[in-house]
Structure 1
Amino acid sequence: MANLPSLDDSTFDEAIKSSGEPVLVDFGATWCGPCRQLAPIVEGIAKDYAGKLKVFTVDIDAAPKSAQRFTIRSVPTLILFKGGEKVGQVIGLVPRDKIIKQLGL
């Protein structure tokens, strides 16, 4: 998983709803190979969009309610939130340029 701040079921809603910036959440798991491959890409996005985008990770095993709430059936899954609402999603190990384009960053 990415070397970014992580959220769990108790911190998820507050982090998403209180942010004045869009929030990108990387749903993954420690046992997931593609999640580990995606981590440096997500970290790069966090660095490049610092001040314009907040980026967090969620371990689906440690936050099962959050994963279930957003119907995470495959990891890695990236979800973009604006104003606390889900506005975009990317599923799977996807190249950086496709993530940027698909999420409209």
Structure 2
Amino acid sequence: MTAKATSESTWQQDVIDAEGPVLVDFWAEWCGPCRMVGPILDEIQSENGDKLTVLKLNVDENPNLAMEYQITSIPAMKVFKGGQVETTIIGAKPKVALEKDLAAYIR
């Protein structure tokens, strides 16, 4: 199962009003490390979809959200719960490291 895309038009529904924790992957087509993290996040989504929703936000197509959440380097991942940012993860990491960062949400 691959992570679903979100955008400025669906942000409120997808992220702010979501029931459980939502990890948003801020990425762009041209970003090599983002392309490395993508498949890892897809795996985390398929293994933990009942506990954590993984969404992708293209920063080039949604610059207002990238600005609002102060995304200065990508890949950047933020976990939202109850509409608020709870955790921020910056940079490409191997699956084990990402799972450790997300342990509070996927255990």
TM-score by length of 2: 0.90
Which residue of structure 1 lines up, in the alignment, with residue 26 of structure 2?
Answer: 27
Instruction: Tell me what 1:64 maps to.
Output: 63
What secondary structure sits across from 2:8 in the alignment? coil
CA distance in 2, matches of 1:25, 1:68: 14
Structure 2 residue ranges without an equivalent (≥5): none
Deviation at 1:80, TM superposition (A): 0.4
User: Equivalent residues in 2 for 1:25-104 (5 A)?
Assistant: 25-103=24-102, 104=104
Show the counterpart of 1:5: 4
Q: Measure, in 1, the Cα distance between the counterparts of 2:82 and 2:98.
A: 20
Q: Give me the identity figure in percent.
A: 35
In structure 1, runs of 5+ residues without a counterpart are none
Write the distance in 1 (CA, Å) between the matches of 2:88 and 2:35: 18
Runs of 4+ in 1 over 6 A off after TM superposition: none
State the aligned residue count.
103
Note the aligned Cα RMSD (angstroms): 1.1
